[in-house]
Homo-oligomer: A and B are copies of this chain.
Amino acid sequence: MITERQASILGMVVDEYVVTAEPVSSRALVGQRRLDVSSATIRNELARLEAVGYVTHPYTSAGRVPSDQGYRFYVEALMSEDPVGLDERRTVEHQLHQVSGGLDEWLSLTAMILSSLVGNVAVVTRPRTRSARLRNAQLVELSRDTSLLVAVMDDGRVRQRILPATAPTTQETLNERAHRINRLLDGKDAAEIRAAATDNLDADERDLAGVLAEIVEEQRIAEETFVEGVNIALRQPEFADVDRMLEAVGQLQAYRLRSFLEPAVDGSLGSTRVIIGSENADTGMQDWSMVVSRYGGEDAVGAVAVVGPTRMAYQRTIPRVRYVAALMGQLLQEVGR
């Protein structure tokens, strides 16, 4: 257990270290007023905090740095969240309402906004539905022997695919074909599309149905994850060393492909999880912290996260991640997902 004063000191160490990125000395804490004791007393307390594992020493005589455990305690017991200001809300909501394109543009913008809000990397995954269903398919003539298939899924995805035509066609024919296809396949998932496609369709149309089934069930992870703000995060002093920087970039690049949020997102909706450094099972993420929140409704769930060095402004980050997640859920519902 920890005394009140020790807790307060730990809090000050974290607060200080988060802004300066330099080990915090006992003297620096005295200057901070609020504590009417001498630096020697604080040294004693710090030594005890270190014994319990809440702070560390880079070397014998440097200030103290919070350990992962220390951050954990800070997040759980010490921190008072820095609420999202009204003006922040206003600009965010304004920007998000600005978007006119589809889901993808929207997700990527959200990641960008969140990133700039907290000064770290933001990750947003596309909401996943149990299994997507085709909502509508359209065919557009591109040239005499190619056409473009545009499919809209009920999870908000819109996918295009260029198709070679077996025989010259006109937009008229394509419209008719799309109409037939829609009547037969709308509202169906991949399996049902495959099943329905065997009956009363000509060869071209069967091919088309096959392509549609593929698109509906397609789940390329690369397409599912939006990572933004890497260049913002790189300005953090932890990356002052080129190797660390390159490693970080590579790390995030790789993670874009095998979304690392999955395991973290089992919490209930609305809850925001914080995973600090070594708490992450994934080696290679041991120097990073993540703040993750789920968003969405009953039938579609995605995740919003901020990723950065363990020295992160949790006070600011946590409420902002939660806010953005909530906002997304809300907007998603408005659009009818």
Taking Cβ atoms with an 8 Å cutoff, the residues of A that contact B are 100-102, 105, 135-136, 138, 140-146, 148, 150, 152, 156, 158-162, 171, 186, 231, 234-235, 239-242, 245-246, 249-250, 253, 334-337
Contacts and interface: CB of A to CB of B under 8 A. Distances in A.
Contacts of A144: 336
Contact of A337 (B143, B150, B246, B253): B143
A144 B334 CA distance: 10
A245 B243 CA distance: 11
Contacts of A141: 135-136
Contact of A158 (B143, B160, B234): B160
A211 to B, nearest CB: 8
A241 B239 CA distance: 12
B142 A337 contact: yes
A297 B152 CA distance: 31
A152 B148 contact: yes
A159 B102 CA distance: 8
Contacts of A242: 239-242, 245
A140 B146 contact: no
Contacts of A239: 242
Contacts of A241: 242
A231 B250 contact: yes
A146 B246 contact: no
Contacts of A162: 100-102, 335
Contacts of A336: 142-146
Contact of A150 (B138, B231, B234): B138
